[in-house]
Structure 1
Amino acid sequence: MLRTALRNVFAHKARLLMTMLAVLLGVAFVSGTLVFTSTISDAFHKGSEKGYANVDISIRQDGGDAPEGRDSVTPLSQRTLDRAEELPGAESATGVVSGFAALSDKDGKLVGDGFSTEGANYYAGRDGKGSDPRYPMKDGAAPRAPGEIALDAKTAERTGYQVGDTVRMSVNGPVRTEKVTGIFTTDDGNVAAGGTLVLFDNATAQRLFAKPGEYTEIQVKAEPGVSQAALKARAEKILPADSEAVTGKTLADEESRAIETSMSSMKTSLLAFAGIALFVGIFIIANTFTMLVAQRTKELALLRAVGASRRQVTRSVLIEALAVGAVAGLAGMAAGIGIGAGLRALVGTMGTMPDGPLVVEPSTVVISLLVGVVITVLAAWLPARRAARIPPVAAMGSVHAPATTRSLIVRNTIGALLSAAGAVLVLMATRMDDGGKAPMGAGAALLLVGVFVLTPLLSRPLIAAAAPVLRLFNVSGKLARQNAVRNPRRTAATASALMVGLTLITGLTVIASGVQKAVDKMASESLKADYTVSMANFTPLSPEVEKKLAGSDEVTATSPLRNAPAEIDGDTEYLTGVNGSTIAQLTSLDFTKGGWSGIAGGKQVVVDTDTAKQYGWKPGSSFQVTYDDGEKGRLSVAGLYKGNEMIKGIIVDNKAITPHLEKVADMQVLAKTKDGATEQVKKSLEKQLGNNPAVLVQDKKDISEGIAQMINILLNMLYGLLAMAVIVAVLGVINTLAMSVFERGQEIGMLRAIGLDRRGIKRMVRLESLVISLFGGVLGIGLGIFFGWAAGELIGSSLDTYTLVLPWGRLGIFLALAALVGVLAALWPARRAARLNMLAAIKTE
């Protein structure tokens, strides 16, 4: 039976080719993901080790809250640094301080991605005349005085800046003009990931990112022969309060774990899409082996007649599947290594990862082979069982025995039960404010499987609906419709592969369209301000920005938005500070009770309804608040409003919170202008702020477009990943049609003999393919709309402005895509059918 199975594999190479391709693509996706993520993780891990090569121990603040009775943790001072340098066994000690620093390129645009544009200190020793081993100078000299900076070599290469150039930059809002005195090399992971690093002299960096004489970390290098553990034990004796000492190995391990954590979500996402492609591939594999079994009914029955047992027949089919899976797994693994290498090269050209070799772990090889073999064998198991049930007497019967009525009734009953259970779960989940995600996911899976099981039943009425159009193509159209419904199970399996991909694509598009509409509505309904001004990375903004805007002749009203932590009834809440005298001109909140009146005095607040319900407040209620500096105050409620994702919480005049802030900073500034939001006014405001690369000036349209751009980028990435499932579905249609043409060779020969020309045969096969693809497309788009609506109901519980939006243009494109799949998939099978020799085909048994 082993020899028989292997002979069958070689005898049906062409028929199994599409199945191999389907498995190959899925396995390639899996192995490519594993190779890519392993390569990135290894590169960053080695970069971390290299970055901490000169750090044997680190003294740092432990990151906890300030002890009771104190406003803040004890800072790391110059005295601590001096004591660390004098530790027995310490070769050197370096003080570290860093923070956000936005660098402008020569065109005035922000360099880097915003969140990894950093500034740090160049520590030149106690006397300021030494060198910092962390940053060896490639060109020029280190910064020694205010107004001087050094740039990392990658940033200098990207921007074209050289030693002696003057650059514009910003730390917290106001524009700074600095002179480049040096260019240095670094193993910093942020720089390797496409960010920028700007070095200031030690005193300037402390003034910008901390306080004079303070550091955020102290790094110590041990003398030769002194272990990290021994140096750590000595350092623990000089630690100030609220600090800890950790070894360089611990730092590298922490960074590696952080990288693993950040990579795991990307790996999981990519593997999920690989799983979808493999899931679609299962339909093709099962369909292929079902058709092979049907075409070899006489052969298998004769094997039974000459003594083969049912188990041997089953084993024979599974061995074929094993061989196909093994070959596809090996080829997929090789293709996956190529995909991983391609992604590595693509990411490398964008400068977003450090250099490193391609990593192919043994587990990747094993997983790739297992996935290929297991998926193929599992998908072939039901056809194998079906083959074993063929009685010897079937050798004298028809090859194309239809499914029994009983089996179809059982299938339809199971499909109806699964679909009903899934729909009920999804509908129940839409009524759950919290915890509805799991029931909705389970319900969606059940409904998808249920519809797949029901597709043979659904195929007849839906394909019959296309009959009026198909009649326009005369005999070819009529035959195409009859062929499409002749074997409902085959049609269902073929269409289901396309249905899965389009369900996901449609659902995601519907959800994204609703979210975008909700953001537009929220921005237009919540803000009267023409512009919002914030930092590019949304870190705190200097109050100087609001003062400049308020002094502009074009601006009629401004209000800074400040956050201040405070304790209320034992809970930590963040108070939002505003300009109480102008905020009513800049926002349009939906007040249920009360309003802005009285807030300007600094003794009253307005609160969103959810927070008010939590504390049992109503207009006139008063409550005690403990500010961050420990002082207490009393505030009363002036009004209640409906909050949203843009504006919510406790809003108070800045007079109440500013005296209690250690460092005054704004999260953003709202501004209203005489002439409204125009491109000319926006450019004027940007110019008044010094064309600052770190500051974003946005109108409502900019806010909406920024979110839309993020949504579109995410959608395009998802479309690209789901394209794999669609490609696999195309292979399924090609495979089904090709094998159907082979199966119906005698019939096609008879059609040619009685007068149907080659063009008519081609048209018949193409129309059949088109009908099957559109059937899958209609099911997929219908399910996608339902899932998009259901998920939107869940989103709407936390996003009040969310409404269902059906993007008819994109839905039309998806349906056209399904039609295109049908047309392209039919090219080769149709040509093959038209080229059949009619006499040879008629003689075929």
Structure 2
Amino acid sequence: MRTVLRASLRTHTRRYVAAFVAVMVAVGFVIATNAVGSAARSGLSAEVEHAYRGADLVVGADYGLDRSQVAPVERAAAGQGAVADVIGTAFTTVTRDGTSLGPDTSVSTVSLDPALRRQTVVSGQAPAADGQALVDQRTARADRIRIGDRLVIGTDGDRRTVTVVGIAKATTYLSADVYVPWPTLSALPDALPDAVVVGTSGDPTAVGATLSKVTEEPVRTQGEYVDARVVTLNQGFDAIGILLLLFATVAGFVAVLVIANTFTILFAQRTRDLALLRCVGATRQQVLRSVRVESVAVALLASALGVVAGVGAGYGIVAAVRALSDASTLGAVALSPLWVGGAFVGGVVVTVAAAWLPTRRVVRVSPLAALRPHDADVLSRAGAARVG
């Protein structure tokens, strides 16, 4: 039966193409999803850590900071000889020469202290005083903002006029259209502080103990705060990953239909061959085992190729995004062995399960079927291009 099995796989290779492709797509989709997701997570982690570089302590909860807590923290930090800076955001109207950039333009903070500044200046210089601003390079390009332009931030009596002194590199984490110092932003009633970063020249533990006495907000080291934010933000990526896996599930379901249909047609076309095997002495169990081994062989090969295709697609997508987007924050791809192994095993299980019912019908083939007259086989004349 081994000889028959090998001959069957060689003879009917073209008829397995549809099943091969279906399994490869399902397996590859899962692995590519893991590759892109891991790159997004590692890139985000690096960007979150960069946003708090230079800080020894961070004051604030995972979801923001009460505005009333800002001033006490700043005073306590100054009393300890430490440098404190506020990270905050506001969504308001920003105009240039009477033209609005949008009713909900995002405005965030930029530190006047170079050690705590999270933005990277690509043109001009960083703000050195209140009344100066950085503009995100995407916003500058879209709205044709140049260094030296004057922007009006806010509405009615809460307006502040600032001068653009630099263009900042686009980011994903804590990004905004315009960046101004906290004294400028705090003049807006809808300004929301996110955290207070503190840089110390002495013992961070002692400074942290002092800050804890003047605020109800948690005081954590930079590493602890970054880890907590990464966990919170990764929950969003996990949700995206789950959504993408729904598409992989659809691909797997389609694969089941294609595989079941492929094996059903294939075994129907081979009824005469299988009946002849029974006539020459093959038992039902031998025939059943042979065709099921065929499905396992197809499953193993297709799943292996799907793993290779998924890995290639994942690395290719990440490389393409990096090449096409100067604002990409994708980090290194870190494939999970659990995902890769799960995708491979899933492809094998799906293929074997889908072929299980068609193979059960094989044992019902009567040896007399080989003696019945049959019509000539309809040969497929599809060329290589059509098959592809």
Q: TM-score range by the shorter chain?
A: 0.7 to 0.9
Give me the whole-angstrom Cα distance separating, in 2, the residues matched to 1:317 and 1:30.
28
Residue 80 of structure 1 is matched in structure 2 by: 73
Question: What residue identity is the alignment partner of 1:392?
Answer: P
Give me the whole-angstrom Cα distance separating, in 2, the residues matched to 1:399 and 1:360.
52
Give me the whole-angstrom Cα distance separating, in 2, the residues matched to 1:342 and 1:251.
33
Give me the whole-angstrom Cα distance separating, in 1, the residues matched to 2:306 and 2:289.
25
Residue 100 of structure 1 is matched in structure 2 by: 91
Give me the whole-angstrom Cα distance separating, in 2, the residues matched to 1:10 and 1:107.
74
Cα pair distance change 1:367/1:2, threshold 3 Å: farther
Residues 407-458 of structure 1: CA deviation (Å, up to 9, x unaligned): xxxxxxxxxxxxxxxxxxxxxxxxxxxxxxxxxxxxxxxxxxxxxxxxxxxx
Partner-residue secondary structure (3-state), 2:30: helix
Q: Say what the alpha-carbon RMSD is for the aligned residues.
A: 4.0
Residue 11 of structure 2 is matched in structure 1 by: 11
The answer to whether the 8 A contact 1:76-1:217 is kept is no
Structure with larger Rg? 1
Shift of 1:167: 3.9
Q: How many residues align?
A: 383
Residue 206 of structure 1 is matched in structure 2 by: 186
Shift of 1:207: 1.1
Shift of 1:378: 0.9
Give me the whole-angstrom Cα distance separating, in 2, the residues matched to 1:62 and 1:360.
28
Partner-residue secondary structure (3-state), 1:183: strand
Residue 258 of structure 1 is matched in structure 2 by: 232
Question: What residue identity is the alignment partner of 1:220?
Answer: V
Give me the whole-angstrom Cα distance separating, in 2, the residues matched to 1:186 and 1:91.
29
Cα pair distance change 1:101/1:287, threshold 3 Å: same
Residue 166 of structure 1 is matched in structure 2 by: 150
Residue 319 of structure 1 is matched in structure 2 by: 293
Shift of 1:12: 0.8
Partner-residue secondary structure (3-state), 2:54: coil
Residues 117-147 of structure 1: CA deviation (Å, up to 9, x unaligned): 532334437xxxx87433465522415233x
- Given candidates 109, 125, 128, the residue that maps to 1:140 is 125
Matches within 5 A, 1:366-381: 366-381=341-356
Question: What residue identity is the alignment partner of 2:30?
Answer: V
The answer to whether the 8 A contact 1:84-1:93 is kept is yes
Give me the whole-angstrom Cα distance separating, in 1, the residues matched to 2:320 and 2:96.
24
TM-score (normalised: structure 1): 0.40
- Given candidates 234, 239, 246, the residue that maps to 2:214 is 239
Partner-residue secondary structure (3-state), 2:145: coil
Give me the whole-angstrom Cα distance separating, in 1, the residues matched to 2:236 and 2:157.
30
Residue 37 of structure 1 is matched in structure 2 by: 37
Matches within 5 A, 1:46-57: 46-57=46-57
Give me the whole-angstrom Cα distance separating, in 2, the residues matched to 1:172 and 1:40.
41
Cα pair distance change 1:161/1:30, threshold 3 Å: same
TM-score (normalised: structure 2): 0.80
The answer to whether the 8 A contact 1:51-1:188 is kept is no
Matches within 5 A, 1:454-465: none
- Given candidates 176, 180, 189, the residue that maps to 2:164 is 180
Residue 120 of structure 1 is matched in structure 2 by: 108
Give me the whole-angstrom Cα distance separating, in 2, the residues matched to 1:110 and 1:332.
47
Give me the whole-angstrom Cα distance separating, in 1, the residues matched to 2:79 and 2:278.
89
Shift of 1:322: 1.9
Cα pair distance change 1:298/1:355, threshold 3 Å: closer
Work out whether 1:278 is the aligned partner of 2:252: yes
Give me the whole-angstrom Cα distance separating, in 2, the residues matched to 1:360 and 1:354.
17
Cα pair distance change 1:163/1:274, threshold 3 Å: same
Give me the whole-angstrom Cα distance separating, in 2, the residues matched to 1:320 and 1:173.
78
The answer to whether the 8 A contact 1:105-1:159 is kept is no
Cα pair distance change 1:173/1:185, threshold 3 Å: farther
Shift of 1:388: 2.6
The answer to whether the 8 A contact 1:56-1:222 is kept is yes
Which consecutive residues of structure 1, in runs of 5 or more, have no partner in the other structure?
A: 66-72, 401-741, 749-826, 833-845
Residue 543 of structure 1 is matched in structure 2 by: none
Matches within 5 A, 1:427-576: none
Q: What is the aligned-residue identity percentage?
A: 27
Work out whether 1:301 is the aligned partner of 2:289: no
Shift of 1:267: 2.0
Partner-residue secondary structure (3-state), 2:219: strand
Cα pair distance change 1:367/1:99, threshold 3 Å: same
Cα pair distance change 1:14/1:344, threshold 3 Å: same
Matches within 5 A, 1:316-395: 316-341=290-315, 343-344=317-318, 348=322, 349=324, 353-395=328-370
Give me the whole-angstrom Cα distance separating, in 1, the residues matched to 2:8 and 2:201.
71
Residues 83-117 of structure 1: CA deviation (Å, up to 9, x unaligned): 22444xx8643233332245568995747xx87x5
Which consecutive residues of structure 2, in runs of 5 or more, have no partner in the other structure?
A: none
Shift of 1:180: 0.6
Give me the whole-angstrom Cα distance separating, in 2, the residues matched to 1:205 and 1:223.
27
Cα pair distance change 1:118/1:26, threshold 3 Å: same
Shift of 1:393: 3.6
The answer to whether the 8 A contact 1:61-1:76 is kept is no
Cα pair distance change 1:98/1:38, threshold 3 Å: same
Cα pair distance change 1:279/1:217, threshold 3 Å: closer
Question: What residue identity is the alignment partner of 1:389?
Answer: R
Give me the whole-angstrom Cα distance separating, in 1, the residues matched to 2:138 and 2:163.
18
Partner-residue secondary structure (3-state), 2:188: helix
Residue 289 of structure 1 is matched in structure 2 by: 263
Residues 35-74 of structure 1: CA deviation (Å, up to 9, x unaligned): 2222222221222223233333222268799xxxxxxx68
Give me the whole-angstrom Cα distance separating, in 2, the residues matched to 1:28 and 1:255.
31
Cα pair distance change 1:19/1:107, threshold 3 Å: farther
Residues 121-176 of structure 1: CA deviation (Å, up to 9, x unaligned): 34437xxxx87433465522415233x32224454455543321234554699876
Question: What residue identity is the alignment partner of 1:119?
Answer: V
Residue 652 of structure 1 is matched in structure 2 by: none
The answer to whether the 8 A contact 2:110-2:182 is kept is yes
Question: What residue identity is the alignment partner of 1:95?
Answer: V
Shift of 1:284: 1.9
Question: What residue identity is the alignment partner of 1:93?
Answer: A
The answer to whether the 8 A contact 1:104-1:168 is kept is yes
Matches within 5 A, 1:623-638: none
Give me the whole-angstrom Cα distance separating, in 1, the residues matched to 2:256 and 2:99.
53
Work out whether 1:268 is the aligned partner of 2:242: yes
Q: Which range moves more in the overlay, 358-367 or 19-28?
A: 358-367
Give me the whole-angstrom Cα distance separating, in 1, the residues matched to 2:62 and 2:333.
37
